[in-house]
Structure 1
Amino acid sequence: MTVTPAPGWFRIVALVLLVGGAIGCFACVQQFRLGAEAMGPADDYQRALYAALPSWYNAVYAVATGTALLGAIALLARSALASPLFAISLAAVVVQFGWLFATTDIIAHRGALTVVPFPLVIAAIAAGSLWLAWHARARGWIG
Protein backbone atom coordinates (compact mmCIF):
# COMPACT_ATOMS: atom_id res chain seq x y z
CA MET A 1 0.00 0.00 0.00
CA THR A 2 1.27 3.45 -0.89
CA VAL A 3 1.35 5.92 1.99
CA THR A 4 -0.14 9.31 1.08
CA PRO A 5 0.39 12.60 2.88
CA ALA A 6 -1.72 12.94 6.00
CA PRO A 7 -3.44 16.17 7.02
CA GLY A 8 -1.82 18.29 9.73
CA TRP A 9 -4.51 17.48 12.28
CA PHE A 10 -3.59 13.80 12.05
CA ARG A 11 -0.07 14.43 13.36
CA ILE A 12 -1.43 16.67 16.13
CA VAL A 13 -3.92 14.02 17.26
CA ALA A 14 -1.21 11.35 17.11
CA LEU A 15 1.05 13.55 19.29
CA VAL A 16 -1.79 14.06 21.79
CA LEU A 17 -2.30 10.29 21.88
CA LEU A 18 1.45 9.86 22.43
CA VAL A 19 1.40 12.22 25.42
CA GLY A 20 -1.73 10.51 26.76
CA GLY A 21 -0.12 7.10 26.33
CA ALA A 22 2.98 8.25 28.20
CA ILE A 23 0.82 9.59 31.03
CA GLY A 24 -1.07 6.28 31.14
CA CYS A 25 2.19 4.32 31.34
CA PHE A 26 3.43 6.60 34.11
CA ALA A 27 0.20 6.06 36.07
CA CYS A 28 0.56 2.31 35.58
CA VAL A 29 4.14 2.31 36.87
CA GLN A 30 3.04 4.44 39.83
CA GLN A 31 0.34 1.89 40.68
CA PHE A 32 2.93 -0.89 40.52
CA ARG A 33 5.24 1.10 42.81
CA LEU A 34 2.76 2.62 45.24
CA GLY A 35 -0.28 0.37 45.10
CA ALA A 36 -3.45 1.99 46.43
CA GLU A 37 -1.49 5.15 47.29
CA ALA A 38 -0.72 5.85 43.61
CA MET A 39 -3.44 8.49 43.32
CA GLY A 40 -2.70 10.11 46.68
CA PRO A 41 -3.48 9.11 50.24
CA ALA A 42 -5.68 6.01 50.17
CA ASP A 43 -8.39 5.09 52.64
CA ASP A 44 -9.02 1.63 54.07
CA TYR A 45 -11.47 0.75 51.28
CA GLN A 46 -8.96 1.63 48.53
CA ARG A 47 -6.23 -0.37 50.23
CA ALA A 48 -8.50 -3.41 50.64
CA LEU A 49 -9.69 -3.16 47.03
CA TYR A 50 -6.14 -2.95 45.70
CA ALA A 51 -5.03 -5.87 47.89
CA ALA A 52 -7.91 -7.96 46.54
CA LEU A 53 -7.03 -7.43 42.86
CA PRO A 54 -6.11 -10.67 41.09
CA SER A 55 -2.50 -11.14 40.06
CA TRP A 56 -3.35 -10.68 36.36
CA TYR A 57 -5.04 -7.30 36.89
CA ASN A 58 -1.84 -5.24 36.82
CA ALA A 59 -0.66 -7.14 33.75
CA VAL A 60 -3.85 -6.18 31.92
CA TYR A 61 -3.35 -2.56 33.01
CA ALA A 62 0.21 -2.66 31.64
CA VAL A 63 -1.02 -4.12 28.34
CA ALA A 64 -3.74 -1.45 28.05
CA THR A 65 -1.36 1.44 28.62
CA GLY A 66 1.68 -0.02 26.87
CA THR A 67 -0.15 -0.87 23.66
CA ALA A 68 -1.83 2.55 23.65
CA LEU A 69 1.60 4.19 23.81
CA LEU A 70 3.00 1.88 21.13
CA GLY A 71 -0.08 2.50 18.97
CA ALA A 72 0.50 6.25 19.14
CA ILE A 73 4.14 5.72 18.19
CA ALA A 74 3.00 3.56 15.28
CA LEU A 75 0.62 6.31 14.13
CA LEU A 76 3.44 8.84 14.19
CA ALA A 77 5.64 6.39 12.29
CA ARG A 78 2.73 5.92 9.87
CA SER A 79 2.75 2.18 10.50
CA ALA A 80 -0.20 -0.15 10.04
CA LEU A 81 0.73 -1.71 13.39
CA ALA A 82 -1.29 1.09 15.00
CA SER A 83 -4.57 -0.76 14.35
CA PRO A 84 -3.76 -4.04 16.12
CA LEU A 85 -2.00 -2.21 18.95
CA PHE A 86 -5.02 0.02 19.58
CA ALA A 87 -7.33 -3.01 19.30
CA ILE A 88 -5.35 -4.81 22.01
CA SER A 89 -5.40 -1.68 24.15
CA LEU A 90 -9.19 -1.34 23.84
CA ALA A 91 -9.71 -5.01 24.67
CA ALA A 92 -7.48 -4.69 27.74
CA VAL A 93 -9.37 -1.56 28.89
CA VAL A 94 -12.68 -3.42 28.58
CA VAL A 95 -11.32 -6.40 30.53
CA GLN A 96 -9.74 -4.19 33.19
CA PHE A 97 -12.72 -1.97 33.95
CA GLY A 98 -15.31 -4.62 33.13
CA TRP A 99 -13.84 -6.93 35.74
CA LEU A 100 -13.54 -4.11 38.27
CA PHE A 101 -17.18 -3.07 37.93
CA ALA A 102 -18.61 -6.60 37.58
CA THR A 103 -16.81 -8.21 40.50
CA THR A 104 -16.32 -5.51 43.12
CA ASP A 105 -18.58 -3.21 45.09
CA ILE A 106 -16.73 -0.06 44.01
CA ILE A 107 -19.83 1.58 42.49
CA ALA A 108 -21.94 0.86 45.57
CA HIS A 109 -19.15 2.08 47.83
CA ARG A 110 -17.97 5.17 45.92
CA GLY A 111 -20.98 5.99 43.74
CA ALA A 112 -21.37 5.74 39.98
CA LEU A 113 -20.79 9.46 39.40
CA THR A 114 -17.43 9.18 41.14
CA VAL A 115 -16.03 6.03 39.53
CA VAL A 116 -17.69 5.54 36.14
CA PRO A 117 -16.83 8.73 34.16
CA PHE A 118 -13.05 8.22 34.09
CA PRO A 119 -13.20 4.64 32.74
CA LEU A 120 -15.77 5.75 30.16
CA VAL A 121 -13.41 8.49 28.97
CA ILE A 122 -10.51 6.01 28.81
CA ALA A 123 -12.65 3.53 26.84
CA ALA A 124 -13.82 6.30 24.48
CA ILE A 125 -10.23 7.38 23.85
CA ALA A 126 -9.21 3.78 23.20
CA ALA A 127 -12.12 3.28 20.78
CA GLY A 128 -11.43 6.62 19.10
CA SER A 129 -7.76 5.72 18.70
CA LEU A 130 -8.69 2.45 17.03
CA TRP A 131 -11.14 4.24 14.74
CA LEU A 132 -8.45 6.79 13.83
CA ALA A 133 -6.01 4.02 12.93
CA TRP A 134 -8.65 2.34 10.73
CA HIS A 135 -9.53 5.68 9.13
CA ALA A 136 -5.87 6.49 8.50
CA ARG A 137 -5.31 3.09 6.94
CA ALA A 138 -8.33 3.49 4.67
CA ARG A 139 -7.10 6.92 3.55
CA GLY A 140 -3.58 5.63 2.97
CA TRP A 141 -2.03 7.82 5.68
CA ILE A 142 -0.46 4.78 7.32
CA GLY A 143 0.99 1.83 5.47
Structure 2
Amino acid sequence: MTRMRPPVWFWVAAAVLILWGLSGVFGFYMSLSAAARAQMSAYDRSLYENAPEWYMPVYGAAVWSGLIGSVLLAFRRRIARLFYIASLVAVVVMFVWTFAATDLIAVKGIATAVTFPMLIALIGAFQIWLADHAARRGWIG
Protein backbone atom coordinates (compact mmCIF):
# COMPACT_ATOMS: atom_id res chain seq x y z
CA MET A 1 0.00 0.00 0.00
CA THR A 2 1.31 3.43 -0.94
CA ARG A 3 1.33 5.93 1.87
CA MET A 4 -0.71 9.04 1.26
CA ARG A 5 0.27 12.50 2.41
CA PRO A 6 -1.43 13.32 5.74
CA PRO A 7 -3.34 16.59 6.13
CA VAL A 8 -1.93 19.43 8.20
CA TRP A 9 -4.22 18.62 11.15
CA PHE A 10 -2.55 15.20 11.43
CA TRP A 11 0.85 16.86 11.93
CA VAL A 12 -0.62 19.30 14.45
CA ALA A 13 -2.23 16.44 16.36
CA ALA A 14 1.03 14.43 16.31
CA ALA A 15 2.98 17.43 17.64
CA VAL A 16 0.43 18.08 20.39
CA LEU A 17 0.49 14.39 21.35
CA ILE A 18 4.29 14.46 21.56
CA LEU A 19 4.04 17.46 23.90
CA TRP A 20 1.38 15.60 25.91
CA GLY A 21 3.70 12.59 26.14
CA LEU A 22 6.62 14.75 27.23
CA SER A 23 4.48 16.29 29.97
CA GLY A 24 3.55 12.79 31.15
CA VAL A 25 7.19 11.69 31.27
CA PHE A 26 8.08 14.90 33.11
CA GLY A 27 5.29 14.29 35.62
CA PHE A 28 6.47 10.72 36.13
CA TYR A 29 10.03 11.76 36.92
CA MET A 30 8.83 14.60 39.13
CA SER A 31 6.77 12.12 41.13
CA LEU A 32 9.98 10.18 41.79
CA SER A 33 11.69 13.31 43.12
CA ALA A 34 11.91 13.71 46.88
CA ALA A 35 11.75 17.49 46.45
CA ALA A 36 8.53 17.25 44.43
CA ARG A 37 7.00 14.81 46.89
CA ALA A 38 7.85 17.15 49.75
CA GLN A 39 5.63 19.78 48.10
CA MET A 40 2.67 17.39 47.86
CA SER A 41 -0.07 17.27 50.43
CA ALA A 42 0.41 14.65 53.13
CA TYR A 43 -2.43 12.63 51.58
CA ASP A 44 -0.96 12.68 48.05
CA ARG A 45 2.48 11.81 49.39
CA SER A 46 1.01 8.85 51.28
CA LEU A 47 -0.66 7.60 48.08
CA TYR A 48 2.73 7.33 46.38
CA GLU A 49 4.50 5.95 49.44
CA ASN A 50 1.86 3.27 50.03
CA ALA A 51 1.36 2.27 46.41
CA PRO A 52 2.22 -1.33 45.51
CA GLU A 53 5.69 -1.98 44.10
CA TRP A 54 4.33 -2.46 40.59
CA TYR A 55 2.62 0.94 40.50
CA MET A 56 5.57 3.17 39.51
CA PRO A 57 6.83 0.79 36.78
CA VAL A 58 3.30 0.70 35.34
CA TYR A 59 3.15 4.51 35.54
CA GLY A 60 6.48 4.69 33.70
CA ALA A 61 5.26 2.23 31.09
CA ALA A 62 2.09 4.28 30.59
CA VAL A 63 3.86 7.56 29.93
CA TRP A 64 6.84 6.22 28.01
CA SER A 65 4.76 4.01 25.71
CA GLY A 66 2.45 6.96 25.03
CA LEU A 67 5.38 9.22 24.16
CA ILE A 68 7.02 6.57 21.99
CA GLY A 69 3.69 5.98 20.24
CA SER A 70 3.41 9.69 19.46
CA VAL A 71 6.95 9.87 18.09
CA LEU A 72 6.23 6.79 15.96
CA LEU A 73 3.00 8.38 14.75
CA ALA A 74 4.95 11.48 13.71
CA PHE A 75 7.34 9.19 11.84
CA ARG A 76 4.26 7.64 10.22
CA ARG A 77 4.77 4.16 11.66
CA ARG A 78 1.78 1.86 12.12
CA ILE A 79 3.32 0.31 15.26
CA ALA A 80 2.38 3.54 17.07
CA ARG A 81 -1.03 1.94 17.66
CA LEU A 82 0.50 -0.89 19.72
CA PHE A 83 2.36 1.58 21.92
CA TYR A 84 -0.84 3.56 22.39
CA ILE A 85 -2.72 0.41 23.38
CA ALA A 86 0.01 -0.50 25.87
CA SER A 87 -0.15 3.00 27.30
CA LEU A 88 -3.94 2.94 27.72
CA VAL A 89 -3.86 -0.51 29.32
CA ALA A 90 -1.26 0.73 31.83
CA VAL A 91 -3.34 3.84 32.53
CA VAL A 92 -6.44 1.72 33.18
CA VAL A 93 -4.49 -0.58 35.52
CA MET A 94 -3.16 2.42 37.46
CA PHE A 95 -6.52 4.10 37.84
CA VAL A 96 -8.46 0.93 38.64
CA TRP A 97 -6.07 0.33 41.52
CA THR A 98 -6.20 3.98 42.60
CA PHE A 99 -9.99 4.12 42.70
CA ALA A 100 -10.56 0.58 44.03
CA ALA A 101 -7.82 0.38 46.66
CA THR A 102 -7.70 3.93 48.03
CA ASP A 103 -10.13 6.42 49.50
CA LEU A 104 -9.16 9.08 46.94
CA ILE A 105 -12.74 9.81 45.87
CA ALA A 106 -13.94 10.08 49.47
CA VAL A 107 -11.09 12.42 50.37
CA LYS A 108 -10.99 14.66 47.30
CA GLY A 109 -14.50 14.29 45.92
CA ILE A 110 -15.50 12.63 42.68
CA ALA A 111 -15.08 15.71 40.47
CA THR A 112 -11.53 16.38 41.63
CA ALA A 113 -10.50 12.72 41.77
CA VAL A 114 -11.92 11.60 38.43
CA THR A 115 -11.64 14.57 36.04
CA PHE A 116 -7.94 14.35 35.15
CA PRO A 117 -7.83 10.53 34.98
CA MET A 118 -10.83 10.64 32.62
CA LEU A 119 -9.05 13.20 30.45
CA ILE A 120 -5.97 10.96 30.35
CA ALA A 121 -8.07 7.93 29.36
CA LEU A 122 -9.94 9.91 26.70
CA ILE A 123 -6.69 11.14 25.19
CA GLY A 124 -5.40 7.55 25.23
CA ALA A 125 -8.50 6.40 23.36
CA PHE A 126 -8.11 9.29 20.91
CA GLN A 127 -4.50 8.27 20.25
CA ILE A 128 -5.59 4.75 19.33
CA TRP A 129 -8.39 6.11 17.14
CA LEU A 130 -5.99 8.50 15.39
CA ALA A 131 -3.48 5.73 14.67
CA ASP A 132 -6.30 3.54 13.30
CA HIS A 133 -7.71 6.41 11.24
CA ALA A 134 -4.27 7.29 9.85
CA ALA A 135 -3.64 3.64 8.93
CA ARG A 136 -7.01 3.36 7.16
CA ARG A 137 -6.28 6.55 5.21
CA GLY A 138 -2.82 5.34 4.26
CA TRP A 139 -1.05 8.11 6.17
CA ILE A 140 1.01 5.65 8.21
CA GLY A 141 2.35 2.28 7.24
Deviation for aligned residue 1:135 = 0.5
- Aligned position for 2:3: 3
TM-score relative to the length of structure 1: 0.94
The superposition leaves residues 10-63 of structure 1 with CA deviations (integer Å, 9 ceiling, x where unpaired) of 0000000001100100100111123872xx722322222221101110011101
- Work out the percentage of aligned pairs sharing the same amino acid: 43
Residues 100-143 of structure 1, C-alpha deviations (whole Å, 9 max, x = no match): 00111111111111111000000000000010000000110000
Report the AA paired with residue 30 of structure 1.
M
Pairwise mapping of residues 60-79 of structure 1 onto structure 2 (< 5 A)?
A: 60-79=58-77
Determine helix, strand or coil for the equivalent of 1:5.
Answer: coil
Unmatched 5+ stretches in structure 1: none
Aligned match of 2:29 = 29
The secondary structure found in structure 1 opposite 2:33 is helix
Answer whether contact 1:36 1:50 (CA < 8 A) is retained: no
Gaps of at least 5 residues in structure 2 are none
Match of 2:98 among 78, 97, 100: 100
1:1-143 to structure 2, matched below 5 A, reads: 1-34=1-34, 37=37, 41-143=39-141
What secondary structure sits across from 1:6 in the alignment? coil
Instruction: Give RMSD over aligned pairs.
Output: 1.4
| Counterpart residue identity of residue 73, structure 1 | V
Shift of 1:80: 0.7
How many residues of Structure 1 are paired with residues of Structure 2 in the alignment? 141
